[in-house]
Amino acid sequence: MSDERNNQRSGVGRKVAKGTGKVVLAPFRAVGQSGKLTKDQFVSSMKAGHFGDASNTIRENWQKAAKPGRNDQFFDIFGGPDGTELLQWNLRRFLLKKRTALGCMTAFVVYGAVCVLMFQAFSGLLGMLGALILGCTFATDAQFRLWQLRNHRLSREEKGGFQYFWREEPVWQIFNPELGGGRHGS
């Protein structure tokens, strides 16, 4: 009992609590300082007019892209002497991206299911949900690019937009890893 009183009198308990408080609060202080610096930088950039120039440039580019004949045509890009090699390289790249997205999505969904079923850690549901959302997003992006390249339609004039992709491509194709190596459906 006398040892506890000596520790209390010497302030060891207070020093430990104070040190623990600093360790626990240090990340929050750093985040707060980072937020303040970011806000200061944003305010100074707004005063200097940097964002106004960027938004005007974006608006001009958007208006130029909307004009007919301003978009890249498929054969303008892939019609040269190295066109078929470039096309095959892009097809392999997007197919690899799609397979990677589907593989990672599957791995994290299985991991989340194991966490929920075996350990009753329901935070695994959040991992599963995140994996599904990100995996589907990346797989859809890759499938859209594959569809554009396989159908030789990149521009608005060639009807290579996302709305045409949703109308023409079956949804299940997004989840097909195409392990056979050939083009689907042909």
For 47-90, the pLDDT digits (tens) are 776 666 666 776 776 666 666 655 568 888 888 888 899 999 99
Domain count, the chain: 2
Note whether residue 169 is domain-resident: yes
77 and 58 in a single domain? The answer is no
Q: Is 154 helix (H, G, I), strand (E, B) or coil?
A: coil
Please report whether residue 154 resides in a domain: yes
Distance CA 124, CA 116 (A): 6
pLDDT value at residue 77: 80
| Structural domain ending residue among the three candidates 41, 65, 89 | 65
Q: How much is the mean pLDDT over the chain?
A: 81
Tell whether 133 and 52 lie within a shared domain. no
- pLDDT at site 49: 67
| Three-class secondary structure of residue 36 per DSSP | helix
Q: How far apart are the first and last CA of the chain?
A: 85
**pLDDT for res 186:** 44
Nearest to 72 by CA among 97, 55, 80: 80
Could you tell me if residue 50 is inside a domain?
yes
How far is the C-alpha of 148 from the C-alpha of 167, rounded, in Å? 13
Q: What is the pTM of this model?
A: 0.61
Is 183 contained in some domain? no
Q: Are 83 and 49 found together in one domain?
A: no
Do 84 and 56 sit in the same domain of this protein? no
pLDDT, residue 18, reads 73
Query: Does the pLDDT at position 1 exceed 90?
Result: no
Q: What is the mean pLDDT of residues 167-179?
A: 93
Q: Answer yes or no: is pLDDT of 20 > 60.
A: yes
Residues 14-19 have a mean pLDDT of: 72
| Residue % of the chain over a pLDDT of 90 | 42
Task: State the pLDDT confidence band at 171, using cuts at 50, 70 and 90.
Answer: very high
Q: Is 130 exposed, middle or buried (0-12, 13-18, 19+ CB in 10 A)?
A: middle
Are 159 and 167 spatial neighbours (Cβ–Cβ below 8 Å)? no
For residue 83, the enclosing domain spans: 73-175
The DSSP string of 66-128 is HSTT-SPPHHHHH-STTHHHHHHHHHHHHHHHHHHHHHHHHHHHHHHHHHHHHH--THHHHHH
Angstrom distances, CA of residue 166 to CA of 91, 97, 132, 161: 19, 19, 19, 9
Q: How far is CA 139 from CA 30, 132, 142, 173, in A?
A: 36, 10, 5, 10
> Using CA atoms, how far apart are residues 135 and 66, in angstroms rounded to an integer?
31
